[in-house]
Structure 1
Amino acid sequence: MALLGPSADVIRQLVTICEEYAEQHGLKYNTAKSELVIFKARKYNPSTESRIMLCGVSLNVVDRFKYLGHMLTDDLKDDLDLERERRATAVRGNMLARRFARCNKAVKLTLFRAYCQTFYTSSLWVRFTQRAYNALRVQYNNILRMLLRLPKHCSASGMFAEARVDDFFAIRRKRIASMLRRVRGSSNSLLRVLAERLDCPVTKFWVEVAFGRAK
């Protein structure tokens, strides 16, 4: 489970509610596996109020943690999660190239679409460096080259067009457009507010990518 709050006091209140519920229902929290991350803000110094207790134990403060497979960091940047996806894509791509080297092109392309185009939680990537972004894009391109045994420096756009496979940017636009549609159609009032606020950096980025104004 994850608790989110705008301040340390709110988190303490939420933790107290959890402790009371656990006591009433015979449950026990594992404090060794519980962590605290303080998301940074420009005008906020968390050092004086970061101590949060759970069942009498002070929670360990970390600068990153994985939630449902997505890497979150205290600076709210996505470079670490992009690197996670790059490594996972490389592992899957190498496995395909090794195990299915003798298969025909149609089989290889089917496997490539199934194993290398997931880009898990990629619609949440909003704040990242171009270096981390390009590293994943190049990794994706190289896997298809390797799988089809194409020259290392062949045109990426021509390669994807010839194979009739979505390139990296097309996948990004589709993932983000899908996310934007689901958020706008959600029954959750908080998500609907997010979708309607075009001055929100996340929503603004989604709209720009979905309509081809950003990559």
Structure 2
Amino acid sequence: MVLLSPSIRGLRRLLNICEQYARDHGLKYNVKKTQMMVFRAGKGPERIPSVFLDGVPVERVAQFRYLGHILTEDLRDNQDMERERRALSVRCNMLARRFARCSSEAKLTLFRAYCQCFYTCQLWVNCTASARSSIRVQYNNAYRILMKLPKYCSASGIFADAKVPDYFAIIRSRVAAFWFRIRNSQNEILRVCSECPENRIPKYWLAVHRGNNHK
């Protein structure tokens, strides 16, 4: 369960409601597994007051994994991109080791199934150029390793020859599909957020398709 509040006071009120609900229904929260993260607006306050659950202070963390996606207090996506880069490296090495003697067609099928997921890549809005470059290079190298190609061969050439989408094509596809679902959602809040001119996510999505965000 996730609670969101614009202030510590509001968060305390939400926790009080949860505590009362738990008492009324014979439930008990595991405070040791409960964590709090503060997203600062600008510099933010120097001191963050404590928040309590059942009289125990809630641990404050700098990052948190939610549904597999790593959130950080500075709202940057570098850590989540590194998570996916490492996962891609593990999957690639596993495929190269176990299926080294398979045909090229079988390897292509495996590559498409295991190396093109880029979980939650449509949310990578705030990150450094080096983080984007790192995961793109990992994707290129994964294909080279699996197909036993020279290390310095042209990435665009090998993907074009095999009719396999490169990193940029995958990102554009995932972003477009996600944007379509959000803008056509039955949830009015999601639709309004997707069309808000000050929202960073639509700006990022447009930049991806203009090619300004991945160069």
Q: Give the aligned partner of residue 209 of structure 2.
A: 210
Query: C-alpha distance in 2, partners of 1:45/1:20?
Result: 29
Q: Give the aligned partner of residue 33 of structure 1.
A: 33
1:56 corresponds to 2:55: yes
1:60-115 superposed Cα distances (whole Å, 9 cap, x missing partner): 11100100100000000000000000000000000000000000001000000000
How much does 1:208 deviate? 2.0
Give secondary structure in 1 for the equivalent of 2:60: strand
Q: Give the aligned partner of residue 103 of structure 1.
A: 102
1:150 corresponds to 2:149: yes
Query: C-alpha distance in 2, partners of 1:40/1:137?
Result: 30
How much does 1:163 deviate? 0.9
1:82 corresponds to 2:78: no
Give secondary structure in 2 for the equivalent of 1:108: helix
Give secondary structure in 2 for the equivalent of 1:89: helix
1:166-209 superposed Cα distances (whole Å, 9 cap, x missing partner): 10000100111111111101111211111111331111111221
Runs of at least 5 residues in structure 2 that lack an aligned partner in the other structure: none
Letter in 2 for 1:36: M
Q: How does 1:36-185 map to 2 (within 5 A)?
A: 36-45=36-45, 47-49=47-49, 51-185=50-184
What's the RMSD between the two structures over aligned residues? 1.2
How much does 1:211 deviate? 4.6
1:193 corresponds to 2:187: no
Q: Give the aligned partner of residue 6 of structure 2.
A: 6
Query: C-alpha distance in 1, partners of 2:19/2:209?
Result: 43
Letter in 2 for 1:167: D
TM-score, normalised with respect to structure 2: 0.96
Query: C-alpha distance in 2, partners of 1:55/1:169?
Result: 48
How much does 1:212 deviate? 3.8
Instruction: Judge conservation of contact 1:96–1:111 (CA < 8 Å) in 2.
Output: yes
Give secondary structure in 2 for the equivalent of 1:47: coil
Give secondary structure in 1 for the equivalent of 2:213: coil
Give secondary structure in 1 for the equivalent of 2:149: coil
Query: C-alpha distance in 2, partners of 1:46/1:111?
Result: 50
Identity among equivalent positions (%) equals 52
Instruction: Judge conservation of contact 1:3–1:11 (CA < 8 Å) in 2.
Output: yes
Cα separation, partners in 2 of 1:31 and 1:46, compared to 1, 3 Å: farther
TM-score, normalised with respect to structure 1: 0.96
Runs of at least 5 residues in structure 1 that lack an aligned partner in the other structure: none
Instruction: Judge conservation of contact 1:35–1:61 (CA < 8 Å) in 2.
Output: yes
1:2-45 superposed Cα distances (whole Å, 9 cap, x missing partner): 11111111111111111111111111100001001001221521
Instruction: Judge conservation of contact 1:174–1:210 (CA < 8 Å) in 2.
Output: no
How much does 1:151 deviate? 0.4
Give secondary structure in 2 for the equivalent of 1:94: helix
Query: C-alpha distance in 2, partners of 1:47/1:137?
Result: 39
How much does 1:214 deviate? 3.0
Q: How many residues get paired?
A: 214
Query: C-alpha distance in 2, partners of 1:186/1:136?
Result: 30
Letter in 2 for 1:127: N
Letter in 2 for 1:47: R
1:136-187 superposed Cα distances (whole Å, 9 cap, x missing partner): 1101100100111110000000010011111000010011111111110111
